[in-house]
């Protein structure tokens, strides 16, 4: 009987948590912005809906279904990686959230980022984690910065691998995108070194309340860079799934595009999701 009561109490505790996520202000605003964007595209932009529908109905449904499944595995892989980063900064005896929970938060933050500005989805993820897991907002933001840093390095390396297959005469777009990726990696490296080098100076000059939050942010960022081979493995799986999803959609629509170009387009588009825009 006590076990039944505990299960019921636990279910009641989880239900409001899920409801809060769906009905929270950031989620409602994001859904509203997405709806307004769709209305704008349909009413203000010359979109041939019949041609679009013909293209969709003429696509290979099996490839599209597989692309749908592969797309959502990216959130699973990134949820596993984020859980690993959270474990890196947790106390040895702490019981952190599970893979499904972390994957759900990654999915929600991705949705908010896709319709919002300035990477608000990342802050929303940290807010939810603090609210539901009683964690530190500043420390959680640090893990997300570490996550973005790892992603930027992986994207730059994958672009480097794809570039030799895309070199063509006077095409400068490839070099521009690659230069942007390398610049982001260098910028992140400088920022992380500066955070470490100037930590003591900043803590002495900041007000106590700000120094405490910066200390937690620094701990969350630098402490996440443990077990890097495992974190890199899960990050690489996530990007592989992104590329596979794009390749499957291209195949479903019948476009004749080389695999190297699919890799390049996927990663070039992803560069825009790694920085606040």
pLDDT tens-digit series, residues 177-226:
888 888 889 998 999 999 889 888 888 899 999 999 999 999 999 999 99
Mean pLDDT of 34-55: 69
**What pLDDT score was predicted for residue 15?**
42
Mean pLDDT of 216-239: 95
**In terms of DSSP H, where are the helices of the chain?**
2-23, 25-44, 49-57, 61-89, 99-115, 120-133, 137-162, 173-197, 199-205, 208-223, 228-253, 259-271
Give the chain's mean pLDDT. Answer: 83
Give per-residue pLDDT as tens, 60-114.
Answer: 999 999 999 999 999 999 999 999 999 999 887 778 889 999 999 999 898 888 7
| Dist CA 123 CA 45 (whole Å) | 32
Mean pLDDT of 33-53: 68
**What pLDDT score was predicted for residue 7?**
38
43 vs 175, higher pLDDT: 175
23 vs 271, higher pLDDT: 271
**What pLDDT score was predicted for residue 14?**
42
> How many Cα atoms occupy the beta-carbon half-sphere of 264 within 13 Å?
19
Instruction: Give the model's confidence band at 115: pLDDT under 50 very low, under 70 low, under 90 confident, else very high.
Output: confident
Q: What percentage of the chain carries pLDDT values higher than 70?
A: 79
Contact criterion met (CB below 8 Å) for 107 and 188: no
The Cα diameter of the chain in Å comes to 75
Query: For residue 18, how many other CB atoms are within 10 A of its CB?
Result: 11
String of b and e for 24-38 (b: at least 16 CB within 10 Å)? Answer: bebbeebeeeeeeee
């Amino acid at each position: 009987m006590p076990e039944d009561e505990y299960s019921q109490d636990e279910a009641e505790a989880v239900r409001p948590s899920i409801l809060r996520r769906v009905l929270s202000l950031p989620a409602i605003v994001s859904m509203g912005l997405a709806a307004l964007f769709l209305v704008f595209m349909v009413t203000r932009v010359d979109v041939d809906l019949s041609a679009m529908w013909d293209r969709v109905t003429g696509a290979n449904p099996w490839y599209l279904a597989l692309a749908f499944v592969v797309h959502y595995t990216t959130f699973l892989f990134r949820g596993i990686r984020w859980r690993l980063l959270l474990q890196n900064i947790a106390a040895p005896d702490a019981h952190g959230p599970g893979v499904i929970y972390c994957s759900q938060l990654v999915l929600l933050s991705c949705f908010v980022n896709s319709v919002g500005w300035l990477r608000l989805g990342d802050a929303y993820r940290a807010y939810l984690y603090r609210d539901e897991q009683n964690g530190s907002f500043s420390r959680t933001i640090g893990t997300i910065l570490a996550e973005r840093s790892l992603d930027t390095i992986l994207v730059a390396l994958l672009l480097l691998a794809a570039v030799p297959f895309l070199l063509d005469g006077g095409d400068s777009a490839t070099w521009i995108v690659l230069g942007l990726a390398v610049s982001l990696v260098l910028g992140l490296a400088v920022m992380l070194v500066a955070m470490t080098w100037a930590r003591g100076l900043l803590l002495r000059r900041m007000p106590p309340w700000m120094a405490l939050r910066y200390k937690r942010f620094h701990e969350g960022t630098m402490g996440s860079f443990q077990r890097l081979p495992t974190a890199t493995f899960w990050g690489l799986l996530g990007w592989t799934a992104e590329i596979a999803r794009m390749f499957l959609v291209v195949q479903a629509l019948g476009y004749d595009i080389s695999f190297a170009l699919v890799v390049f387009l996927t990663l070039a588009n992803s560069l825009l999701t790694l920085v606040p825009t």
